[in-house]
Structure 1
Amino acid sequence: MGLLGILLGLALLVALAYRGWSILLLAPAAALVAALFAGEPLLAHWTQTFMGAAAGFVAQFFPIFLLGALFGKLMEDSGSVQSVARFMGNRLGTRRAILAVVLAGAMVTYGGVSLFVAIFVLVPMAQSLFRDANIPRRLIPGTVALGTFTFTMTALPGTPAVQNAIPMPYLGTTPFAAPGLGLIAALIMLLFGLWWLSLAEARARRGGIGYDGLPALAPARTSALTSDRTPAAASVSAADPETIADQAAEDTLVRTRATVASSFDPPEVHGGEVSRELPSALVAFLPLIVVVAVNLSMSFLVLPRLDLGFLGEDRWGPTSPAAVSGIWSVIVALLSAILTLLALNWKRLTSLRDSVDAGLNASVLPVVSVACLVGFGAVVAALPAFEMVRDWVLGIEGGPLVSLAVSTNILAALTGSASGGLTIALQALGPTYLQLASELGIDPGLMHRVAVIGAGTLDTLPHNGAVVTLLAVCGATHKESYLDIVMVAIVGGLVALAGIIVLGTLFGSF
């Protein structure tokens, strides 16, 4: 009965989340269903197990959500994200439109800009470039996805993304865990994605298909979008991208799904005021460079030389330097980048208080939503029947790296959240994997990289918040564009994941 309760609770969570129900209600309800079938005390699991785990996640990772959302909003309102996008578009031009959009997205997200801020800025840029190059607009979602929520979120060492921060307190690693393998995985994802998109572009050109999906010489379509479009884009003309993006930001279904997929609440995109005067490319890139440089120096130069022995005192709780140093590195990096951005763009941020409020507010619902998923996972892990699940996961052939990859993939797929699935897996099995790593001589950094890449593959299913938001902002449908997202985000990620597992098994972490 206990295992049946876990399955029913998970089915309830997945089915109703897909229909747009708030995870704030679904997660505790699903946890209580699992506890009920196990014959466990319901209120105790809700107030002690569920809320304890959720509060622990917020306490640990809220600073990263907070600073990440604020930094992304300030980058947008200062015109810096737009400047980076324009720079890449001008440099590479319409002949390399796909590459320009991918690299622009990669630069801003690797530099710490929130995924949804990047989407709302990059899509109009992509539409302009693709229209001029006469590339089918159905390829825009896949192109933006490749640059914003694949290798820069999971593979590139040092990325300040929440997904890359989550394993650090569990495994005692840094943001730069397994840097060589991370770079190889990022290169695989990038090259595979570009190959697929260039193949699709070439196929369209051979068929004479232009921007609107019609033969290049045919008149442009002017009818309203068909009824199978995402809710935010329904009945809006494809020639009106600003209206489509605005409606996507305000759509409740988009918001409900989006807040478990990243660190930014979409409606807050409209807070503040975007500068009419764009900064130079140098000024726009500098805060992004600061994020990477400070993160690197904190991880390898500053924190290792500090005496952090005071963390062993009772007043700091059960923690250690290894458990907090990685998170501290990301916090200082984002804070330094925010101060740099403010110093360089003070006059451009004409509504600074509104921009700051929007950025801070944008972080609250996402962190609480993911925390609720973590609470659900904590209740499930506390049930006696979970022993069967753990034994099955650890018994997967191929060793701990394969079983870790499978568990993070499955949980991220079911929750529709890379960060939620990753936290649930590591909270339930992290100590076990760490013990296995010690016994088998596996570098925890290798496990870190495998876990993060694993969580960032199958989470990109049709109900994923990033997918729903991206399609809504593009005014596209799953039927038109989801295959390209699958290829660049899921298939490319799985190929990279398999590659680093093989290399890590043969040569260890590097």
Structure 2
Amino acid sequence: MTFLIVLAALAFLMFAAYRGYSVILFAPIAALAAVLLTAPAAVAPVFSGIFMEKMVGFVKLYFPVFMLGAVFGKVIELSGFSESIVAAAIRYIGRSRANAVIVAVCALLTYGGVSLFVVVFAVYPFAAELYRQSNIPKRLMPGALALGAFSFTMDSLPGTPQIQNIIPTTFFKTTSWAAPALGAIGSLFIVVAGLSYLEWRRRTAMAKGEGYGASLVNEPERATSAARLPSPLLAILPLVVVGVANFVLTRMIPVWYGADAYTVAPEALPGVHAPVTATIKTVVAIWAVEGALLLGIVLVVASAFGRVSARFADGSKTAVGGALLAAMNTASEYGFGGVIAALPGFIVVGDALKRIPDPLVNAAVSVSALAGITGSASGGMSIALAAMSNLFIQGAQAAHIPLEVLHRVVAMASGGMDTLPHNGAVITLLAVTGLTHRESYREIFAVTVIKTLAVFFVIAVYYLTGLV
């Protein structure tokens, strides 16, 4: 019975997300309903002591990353840099390689720190123009956008500043560059398999004489004239700066502050009545990404001040509002995971997972399942790590597996089954492109399957070669 309560709470939250209801509202409802059915008197204490504590703790750690990432993406958009990058990719890679162009541009933007939601909005007008001129069916476009923005640059490539690669750092005391060899191998697997599938679908559709399509909705206006676009070299510079700064700060912060902890004494700040201590291993990856994104924002604003300044006030408000909503959605799911982990029914789940003998497979299956149920990579991973991170760590240490490998497996698993039909990014992608699940989800689901297979491919590579 206790297991059924946990299962019902997860199913209810999945249903609410699928129907488009706010996770911020329904995650606590689902969690507290499970508590009510288990121990009615514990509802109020659990809400204050577990749900809110977990939720606030998540916001405390990660909201600056969400906010700075959203603002960076917005100034990249306002400056015209994203348009310039897309136009240059089309010019140098060629229109005949439409899928490769779209994947390359999306990957470049997301790896540079631009939110995947922003990437969809920024790249879609150019992707539509490219598909139209190449007479490729528009219904295949979401698969290419998903492969470029929602897959390897989100959680596989080492150093990516996306939140899915940052969350594991606080649990495993790793950095965003964890397991670089495995991350690169997994990324290559996803890119090769994904592009091969998309090209096969393109050739099949065009062989049947299917063109771009007619009576389509939400068709974008023609792209901005190339003469008005910034130099592509200038446009790509902020992305390079974010990547390099993230790498440098990851290594220098422990040198500046010490490898273990840094304490601000009351003597340094008279208004502080007790020492303020930061555990450096827990926050180094977060501080590094925040610093890198801040440098990127400053560089974009300074190099394109005329374009950005006129719309920065409204644009930054929109970016911060979107970041707040995204962070609160994930934080609410994190609080939900904390409550579910406290229920007796979850012990049944934990015992079942312990029967999976391999710690990496255990972690991959657990995170993939919860990401699929919640329809969120960061949300599913947050729930899994809030509930089972100690179990994962103990299993890895017992098997002498570096926590860097565990980090990479967990991050990649979060981006596996997350893109089921109720995923927010999938719904946004289809809305932006003016397509439906029936028309375009087949290609998105293929990318989902490829991403999931890549996790187990990476696990196999580690066991066969010992690469980290």
Which of 336, 341, 352 is residue 392 of structure 1 equivalent to? 352
| Alignment match, 1:49 | 50
For residues 214-270 of structure 1, what are the alpha-carbon distances to aligned partners after superposition, in whole Å with 9 as ceiling and x for unaligned? xxxxxxx34xxxxxxxxxxxxxx4373359xxxxxxxxxxxxxxxxxxxxxxxxxxx
| Alignment match, 2:281 | 322
2:238 corresponds to which letter in structure 1? P
Residue 45 of structure 1, CA deviation: 0.9
CA distance in 2, matches of 1:505, 1:37: 43
2:383 corresponds to which letter in structure 1? I
User: What is the 5 A alignment of 1:341-360?
Assistant: 341-349=300-308, 350-360=310-320
* Conserved 8 A contact 2:54-2:335: yes
| Alignment match, 2:241 | 290
| Alignment match, 1:406 | 365
For residues 383-421 of structure 1, what are the alpha-carbon distances to aligned partners after superposition, in whole Å with 9 as ceiling and x for unaligned? 223221111112224x01001000000100111110011
Identity %: 41
- Structure 1 residues 325 and 468: CA distance shift in structure 2, 3 A: same
Secondary structure (helix, strand or coil) at the match of 2:463 reads: helix
1:494 corresponds to which letter in structure 2? T
- Structure 1 residues 309 and 409: CA distance shift in structure 2, 3 A: closer
For residues 327-354 of structure 1, what are the alpha-carbon distances to aligned partners after superposition, in whole Å with 9 as ceiling and x for unaligned? 1111111111111111111111122222
Which of 337, 343, 348 is residue 383 of structure 1 equivalent to? 343
User: What is the 5 A alignment of 1:208-223?
Assistant: 208-212=209-213, 221-222=214-215
Residue 204 of structure 1, CA deviation: 1.7
User: What is the 5 A alignment of 1:447-458?
Assistant: 447-458=406-417
In the alignment, structure 1 residue 5 sits paired with structure 2 residue 1: no
CA distance in 1, matches of 2:227, 2:59: 36
Which of 501, 504, 508 is residue 459 of structure 2 equivalent to? 501
CA distance in 2, matches of 1:352, 1:77: 8
* Conserved 8 A contact 1:174-1:325: yes
Secondary structure (helix, strand or coil) at the match of 1:348 reads: helix
| Alignment match, 1:240 | 219
- Structure 2: gaps of 5 or more residues: 265-273
Residue 90 of structure 1, CA deviation: 1.6
| Alignment match, 1:197 | 198
Aligned residues: 454
Secondary structure (helix, strand or coil) at the match of 1:389 reads: helix
For residues 84-142 of structure 1, what are the alpha-carbon distances to aligned partners after superposition, in whole Å with 9 as ceiling and x for unaligned? 11111121232111111110111011100111111012111111111111111111100
| Alignment match, 2:81 | 80
Secondary structure (helix, strand or coil) at the match of 2:344 reads: coil
| Alignment match, 1:123 | 124
CA distance in 1, matches of 2:340, 2:253: 39
Residue 446 of structure 1, CA deviation: 0.4
CA distance in 2, matches of 1:10, 1:420: 12
1:340 corresponds to which letter in structure 2? L
* Conserved 8 A contact 2:107-2:148: yes
In the alignment, structure 1 residue 280 sits paired with structure 2 residue 240: no
* Conserved 8 A contact 2:86-2:123: yes
For residues 442-471 of structure 1, what are the alpha-carbon distances to aligned partners after superposition, in whole Å with 9 as ceiling and x for unaligned? 110100010011010100001101111111
CA distance in 2, matches of 1:277, 1:357: 26
CA distance in 1, matches of 2:391, 2:19: 35
- Structure 1 residues 312 and 433: CA distance shift in structure 2, 3 A: farther
* Conserved 8 A contact 2:417-2:449: no
| Alignment match, 2:292 | 333
| Alignment match, 1:142 | 143
* Conserved 8 A contact 1:130-1:211: yes
2:236 corresponds to which letter in structure 1? F
Secondary structure (helix, strand or coil) at the match of 1:27 reads: helix
Secondary structure (helix, strand or coil) at the match of 2:306 reads: coil
- Structure 1: gaps of 5 or more residues: 213-220, 223-236, 244-274
When the two structures are superposed, what TM-score results if normalisation uses the length of structure 1?
0.86
Residue 311 of structure 1, CA deviation: 3.2
CA distance in 2, matches of 1:119, 1:503: 32
| Alignment match, 1:225 | none
User: What is the 5 A alignment of 1:7-46?
Assistant: 7-40=7-40, 41-46=42-47
For residues 155-196 of structure 1, what are the alpha-carbon distances to aligned partners after superposition, in whole Å with 9 as ceiling and x for unaligned? 010000000000001000000000000000001100111100
CA distance in 1, matches of 2:81, 2:366: 38
Please give the root-mean-square deviation of Cα atoms over the aligned residues, in Å. Answer: 1.9
Secondary structure (helix, strand or coil) at the match of 1:311 reads: strand
Secondary structure (helix, strand or coil) at the match of 1:210 reads: coil
Residue 356 of structure 1, CA deviation: 2.1
Residue 363 of structure 1, CA deviation: 0.8
CA distance in 2, matches of 1:414, 1:309: 37
Residue 358 of structure 1, CA deviation: 2.1
CA distance in 2, matches of 1:13, 1:276: 49
Secondary structure (helix, strand or coil) at the match of 1:351 reads: helix
1:334 corresponds to which letter in structure 2? L
Residue 435 of structure 1, CA deviation: 2.3
Secondary structure (helix, strand or coil) at the match of 1:241 reads: coil
Secondary structure (helix, strand or coil) at the match of 1:209 reads: coil
Residue 276 of structure 1, CA deviation: 10
